[in-house]
Amino acid sequence: MDTARELHQRSNIFEPDMIEACRPDLERWATNIRPGTVHNAGPTISRLADLPQARQAESVRQAIDRIQDDVRAFQAGHKLDLVVVVNVASTEPPFPIDETHGSMENLLPALEKRQALLPASSLYAWAALDLGWPYINFTPSLGASFPAALELAQERQTVTGGKDGKTGETLLKAVLAPMFANRNLRILSWVGHNIFGNRDGLVLDDPKNKESKIRTKDQVISQIVGYKPQTHVSIEYIESLDDWKTAWDHIHFRGFLGVKMALQFTWQGCDSILAAPLVLDLARLALLSKRRGETGILKHLACFFKSPMGVEENDFFKQWAMLEDYVLSTTV
Amino acid sequence: MDTARELHQRSNIFEPDMIEACRPDLERWATNIRPGTVHNAGPTISRLADLPQARQAESVRQAIDRIQDDVRAFQAGHKLDLVVVVNVASTEPPFPIDETHGSMENLLPALEKRQALLPASSLYAWAALDLGWPYINFTPSLGASFPAALELAQERQTVTGGKDGKTGETLLKAVLAPMFANRNLRILSWVGHNIFGNRDGLVLDDPKNKESKIRTKDQVISQIVGYKPQTHVSIEYIESLDDWKTAWDHIHFRGFLGVKMALQFTWQGCDSILAAPLVLDLARLALLSKRRGETGILKHLACFFKSPMGVEENDFFKQWAMLEDYVLSTTV
Amino acid sequence: MDTARELHQRSNIFEPDMIEACRPDLERWATNIRPGTVHNAGPTISRLADLPQARQAESVRQAIDRIQDDVRAFQAGHKLDLVVVVNVASTEPPFPIDETHGSMENLLPALEKRQALLPASSLYAWAALDLGWPYINFTPSLGASFPAALELAQERQTVTGGKDGKTGETLLKAVLAPMFANRNLRILSWVGHNIFGNRDGLVLDDPKNKESKIRTKDQVISQIVGYKPQTHVSIEYIESLDDWKTAWDHIHFRGFLGVKMALQFTWQGCDSILAAPLVLDLARLALLSKRRGETGILKHLACFFKSPMGVEENDFFKQWAMLEDYVLSTTV
Amino acid sequence: MDTARELHQRSNIFEPDMIEACRPDLERWATNIRPGTVHNAGPTISRLADLPQARQAESVRQAIDRIQDDVRAFQAGHKLDLVVVVNVASTEPPFPIDETHGSMENLLPALEKRQALLPASSLYAWAALDLGWPYINFTPSLGASFPAALELAQERQTVTGGKDGKTGETLLKAVLAPMFANRNLRILSWVGHNIFGNRDGLVLDDPKNKESKIRTKDQVISQIVGYKPQTHVSIEYIESLDDWKTAWDHIHFRGFLGVKMALQFTWQGCDSILAAPLVLDLARLALLSKRRGETGILKHLACFFKSPMGVEENDFFKQWAMLEDYVLSTTV
Contact D261 C270 (CB under 8 A): yes
- Please state the rounded mean pLDDT for residues D145-167: 97
Alpha carbon of B62: minimum distance to chain C alpha carbons (Å): 47
Q: Among B3, B15, B240, which would you mutate to test the C interface (most chain C Cβ atoms within 10 Å of its Cβ)?
A: B15
- Does an H or E element contain D218, and which? helix D207-218
Q: Among D169, D243, D250, D260, which would you mutate to test the B interface (most chain B Cβ atoms within 10 Å of its Cβ)?
A: D250
Contact of A270 with A243, CB cutoff 8 Å: yes
* Sign of the four-CA dihedral D182, D188, D192, D193: negative
Contact B178 A14 (CB under 8 A): no
Q: Is the pLDDT of residue B2 over 60?
A: no
Residues in chain B closer than 8 A to D193 (CB atoms): 191, 193, 234, 248
Say how many C-beta atoms besides its own lie within 10 A of residue D86's C-beta: 21
Q: Is the pLDDT of residue C332 over 50?
A: no
Q: Is the pLDDT of residue B229 over 90?
A: yes
* Backbone torsions φ then ψ of B319, nearest 5 degrees: -65, -40
pLDDT at residue C130, rounded to an integer: 97
Residues in chain D closer than 8 A to C277 (CB atoms): 184, 255-256
Q: Which chains touch D (3 or more CB pairs under 8 A)?
A: A, B, C
Contact A303 B175 (CB under 8 A): no
Q: Among A11, A18, A175, which would you mutate to test the B interface (most chain B Cβ atoms within 10 Å of its Cβ)?
A: A175
pLDDT at residue B7, rounded to an integer: 67
Lowest-confidence pick of A97-101, D104-108, D174-178, D197-201: D197-201
The percentage of chain B sitting over the pLDDT mark of 90, rounded to a whole number, equals 70
Residue D3 in 3-state DSSP?
A: coil
Q: Could you report the per-residue pLDDT of B276-320, keeping only the tens digit for each?
A: 999 999 999 999 999 999 999 999 999 999 999 999 999 999 999
Of C171, C266, C317, the CB nearest to D317: C317
Q: Could you report the per-residue pLDDT of A18-58, keeping only the tens digit for each?
A: 888 888 998 888 888 888 898 888 888 888 888 887 777 78
CB-based contacts of C163: which residues, under 8 Å, 6+ apart? Answer: C137, C138, C139, C140, C141, C143, C145, C216, C305, C306, C307, C308, C309
pLDDT at residue D2, rounded to an integer: 56
pLDDT at residue A7, rounded to an integer: 67
Say how many C-beta atoms besides its own lie within 10 A of residue A78's C-beta: 11
Contact B15 C17 (CB under 8 A): no
Of B276, B317, B320, the CB nearest to A256: B276
* Sign of the four-CA dihedral A306, C247, C220, C225: negative
Task: Determine the residue of chain D that is closest to B197 in CA distance.
Answer: D189
B236 touching D, CB under 8 A? yes
Q: Could you report the per-residue pLDDT of D73-99, keeping only the tens digit for each?
A: 999 999 999 999 999 999 999 999 999
D259 touching B, CB under 8 A? no
A13 touching D, CB under 8 A? no
Q: Could you report the per-residue pLDDT of D244-302, keeping only the tens digit for each?
A: 999 999 999 999 999 999 999 999 999 999 999 999 999 999 999 999 999 999 999 99
Alpha carbon of B38: minimum distance to chain D alpha carbons (Å): 30
C177 touching D, CB under 8 A? no
Contact D5 A17 (CB under 8 A): yes
What is chain D's alpha carbon radius of gyration, rounded to the nearest angstrom? 21
Residues in chain D closer than 8 A to B195 (CB atoms): 189, 191, 232, 250
pLDDT at residue A202, rounded to an integer: 85
Angstrom distance (rounded) from CA D150 to CA D107: 12
Angstrom distance (rounded) from CA A247 to CA A249: 6
Angstrom distance (rounded) from CA D227 to CA B326: 57
Chain mean pLDDT for chain B: 91
Q: Is the pLDDT of residue B1 over 50?
A: no
Assign C2 a pLDDT band (cuts: 50, 70, 90): low
Assign B10 a pLDDT band (cuts: 50, 70, 90): low
What is the longest distance spanned by two Cα atoms in chain A? 67
Q: Could you report the per-residue pLDDT of B51-87, keeping only the tens digit for each?
A: 887 777 788 999 999 999 999 999 999 999 999 999 9
B199 touching C, CB under 8 A? no
Residues in chain D closer than 8 A to C178 (CB atoms): 175, 317
Q: Is the pLDDT of residue D10 over 80?
A: no
CB-based contacts of C325: which residues, under 8 Å, 6+ apart? Answer: C300
* Backbone torsions φ then ψ of A66, nearest 5 degrees: -70, -40
What is chain A's alpha carbon radius of gyration, rounded to the nearest angstrom? 21
Q: Among D9, D12, D14, D15, which would you mutate to test the A interface (most chain A Cβ atoms within 10 Å of its Cβ)?
A: D15
Alpha carbon of D259: minimum distance to chain C alpha carbons (Å): 7
Assign B155 a pLDDT band (cuts: 50, 70, 90): very high
* Residues paired with residue B261 on neighbouring β-strands, in sequence order: B253
**Orientation angle between helical segments B120-130 and B147-155, nearest 10 degrees:** 20
pLDDT at residue B171, rounded to an integer: 96
Lowest-confidence pick of A99-103, A173-177, B123-127, D17-21: D17-21
What's the whole-model pTM score?
A: 0.94
Residues in chain D closer than 8 A to B193 (CB atoms): 191, 193, 234, 248
Residues in chain C closer than 8 A to D277 (CB atoms): 184, 255-256
A163 upstream amide cis, omega within 30 of 0:
yes
Contact of D94 with D213, CB cutoff 8 Å: no
Alpha carbon C117 to its chain's center: 21
Q: Complex ipTM, two decimals?
A: 0.93
Residues in chain C closer than 8 A to B15 (CB atoms): 8, 16
Q: Could you report the per-residue pLDDT of C105-146, keeping only the tens digit for each?
A: 999 999 988 888 999 999 999 999 999 999 999 999 999 999
D240 touching B, CB under 8 A? yes
For residue D242, give the amino acid letter: D
Angstrom distance (rounded) from CA D185 to CA D193: 22
Task: Determine the residue of chain C that is closest to B9 in CA distance.
Answer: C15
The percentage of chain D sitting over the pLDDT mark of 70, rounded to a whole number, equals 96
pLDDT at residue D30, rounded to an integer: 86
- Does an H or E element contain C61, and which? helix C60-77
B5 touching C, CB under 8 A? yes
Say how many C-beta atoms besides its own lie within 10 A of residue A61's C-beta: 14
Q: Could you report the per-residue pLDDT of C182-222, keeping only the tens digit for each?
A: 999 999 999 999 999 988 888 888 888 888 878 777 789 99
* Closest to D124 (Cα-Cα) out of D59, D83, D61, D67: D67
Assign B189 a pLDDT band (cuts: 50, 70, 90): very high
Residue C120 in 3-state DSSP?
A: helix
* Pairing state between β C186-196 and C230-237: parallel
pLDDT at residue A4, rounded to an integer: 64
Angstrom distance (rounded) from CA C23 to CA C20: 5
Assign B219 a pLDDT band (cuts: 50, 70, 90): confident
Q: Could you report the per-residue pLDDT of A184-205, keeping only the tens digit for each?
A: 999 999 999 999 998 888 888 8
For residue D146, give the amino acid letter: F
Q: Among A17, A20, A250, which would you mutate to test the D interface (most chain D Cβ atoms within 10 Å of its Cβ)?
A: A17
Contact A188 C240 (CB under 8 A): yes
Q: Exposed, middle or buried, D121 (CB in 10 Å: 0-12/13-18/19+)?
A: buried
What is chain C's alpha carbon radius of gyration, rounded to the nearest angstrom? 21
C6 touching B, CB under 8 A? no
pLDDT at residue A187, rounded to an integer: 98
Q: Could you report the per-residue pLDDT of A278-320, keeping only the tens digit for each?
A: 999 999 999 999 999 999 999 999 999 999 999 999 999 999 9
Alpha carbon of B5: minimum distance to chain C alpha carbons (Å): 9
Q: Exposed, middle or buried, D272 (CB in 10 Å: 0-12/13-18/19+)?
A: buried
Task: Determine the residue of chain D that is closest to B187 in CA distance.
Answer: D240
C255 touching D, CB under 8 A? yes
pLDDT at residue D130, rounded to an integer: 97
Q: Could you report the per-residue pLDDT of D202-250, keeping only the tens digit for each?
A: 888 888 888 887 877 778 999 999 999 999 999 999 999 988 999 999 9
pLDDT at residue C1, rounded to an integer: 45
Residue B297 in 3-state DSSP?
A: strand
Task: Determine the residue of chain B that is closest to C4 in CA distance.
Answer: B17
Alpha carbon of C102: minimum distance to chain A alpha carbons (Å): 38
* Closest to D256 (Cα-Cα) out of C304, C272, C305: C272
Window B:287-326, CB contacts with D under 8 Å: none
D47 touching A, CB under 8 A? no
Alpha carbon of B171: minimum distance to chain C alpha carbons (Å): 23
Contact of B120 with B143, CB cutoff 8 Å: no
What is the longest distance spanned by two Cα atoms in chain C? 67
Q: Could you report the per-residue pLDDT of A102-151, keeping only the tens digit for each?
A: 999 999 999 988 888 999 999 999 999 999 999 999 999 999 999 999 99
- Please state the rounded mean pLDDT for residues A154-170: 95
Assign A1 a pLDDT band (cuts: 50, 70, 90): very low
Assign D16 a pLDDT band (cuts: 50, 70, 90): confident
Residues in chain A closer than 8 A to C240 (CB atoms): 188-189, 230, 252, 254, 260
| Dihedral angle computed from the Cα positions of residues A156, A158, A163 and A166, in that order, rounded to the nearest 10 degrees | -170
- Does an H or E element contain D129, and which? helix D120-130
- Counted across chains B and D, CB pairs separated by less than 8 A come out at 66
* Backbone torsions φ then ψ of D54, nearest 5 degrees: -60, -45
Angstrom distance (rounded) from CA C316 to CA C314: 6
